[in-house]
Structure 1
């Protein structure tokens, strides 16, 4: 049994991941903005929940403190929350959109990783999983801001791995491909189901102690690059 904090748990991958990890006997704190979905998760799984808005610079710190109190410590942090306000050309994005994506996609997971590192260093063990996107491996037009934030988090996560691993802390950067979630404007049944992605992520908690997955790229069969 591991004590796990999951962000972005009120939809898509995070919602399914909470259900999957709870079914495996882990203690989970699920966080997100949607109080109704958090209540649903709590009813379905018995997990702890914390409502929080990661675009606010203080709320990630507050939710982390509360989560550690609820769990009595922390073994696993899964930075799953992410958002893309819209697709648009570089000559069209607004300062507000840029700042919002920076806050949710880069600043919040960096702050939570920083706090988790402090706790896990004392325990000389732990696991931090950063959910990125294959968009960070590509250069898609109309996705400049989202790509910049995910690539920024990928760089941060790579350095986090080097600083954390000597202290017995595992860090993994995940790059999932197309997933059929409400993140997309239309249904994409040919993409991975969120439950499939959740089950894949859950496997990382079961790896042998002497194995560290630094990076993992996985895609639906319809994608070959």
Structure 2
């Protein structure tokens, strides 16, 4: 990954921070985005990334980010659309309109906006990798997860179609669908915490970072269309 440029959205914490750090350790120049400037800057300083405050659902913010990255490096090799949030997990009848709108914006629209801009840059280069971080929820149904799952299912199909568009230009598109993880997702979504022993055996940010660097370093003539990650500790009855 030496001399490669990588953008990781939602890089302030959790999976995003782990992914960014893994790419940095592999030799890449990494830009991370987030909405909380203080947390974002602290993470960037800790792992050696470039920080860029942005809401992924804001197209103008994407334009500024791409302009800055291209001015600094002249290329974009990997875009990791990791930003997303549970917003509010629960029966759809109990959700407010704002919950639905925000979930779609954070988990689907933001990634689409980024892909639209990265596609043009990568087509001109004749190379690149886009990784869209989805969720096992995009293919499995659980009560209370309808809106979040719908957004992630939309992202999965968007990614599949995008691959058919971009592969003639030498650009790879991969969907990565993790399940239980060592992140603050459950807390942010208002869900009860997992047992500490179980949590320690879930997917860690470093685990996911290792997987993504491997995808990026795979031969350029090969593409992983879709990859689902399950922690061994997750009960099979829930798969």
> TM-score, normalising length from structure 2?
0.89
CA–CA separation in structure 1 for the residues paired with 2:165 and 2:172: 10
For the aligned residue pairs, the C-alpha RMSD in angstroms reads 1.4
SS in 2 for 1:58: helix
User: Is 169-178 or 90-99 further displaced after alignment?
Assistant: 90-99
Contact 1:55–1:100 at 8 Å: present in 2 too?
A: no
* Equivalent position to 1:111, from 110, 113, 131: 113
Q: Are 2:209 and 1:212 aligned?
A: no
CA–CA separation in structure 2 for the residues paired with 1:178 and 1:162: 29
Question: Can you give the 5+ residue segments of structure 2 that lack an aligned partner in the other structure?
Answer: 188-192
Please list, as runs of the form range in 1=range in 2, the aligned pairs for 1:61-140 lying within 5 A after superposition: 61-140=63-142
CA–CA separation in structure 1 for the residues paired with 2:148 and 2:84: 9
Contact 1:126–1:170 at 8 Å: present in 2 too?
A: yes
User: Is 44-53 or 109-118 further displaced after alignment?
Assistant: 44-53
In the TM superposition, residue 66 of structure 1 has moved relative to its aligned partner by 2.3
* Equivalent position to 1:221, from 210, 223, 232: 232
SS in 2 for 1:88: coil
CA–CA separation in structure 2 for the residues paired with 1:85 and 1:47: 27
SS in 2 for 1:171: strand
CA–CA separation in structure 1 for the residues paired with 2:180 and 2:5: 29
Q: Cα 1:102–1:61, aligned 2, differ >3 Å: closer, same or farther?
A: farther
Contact 2:83–2:107 at 8 Å: present in 1 too?
A: yes
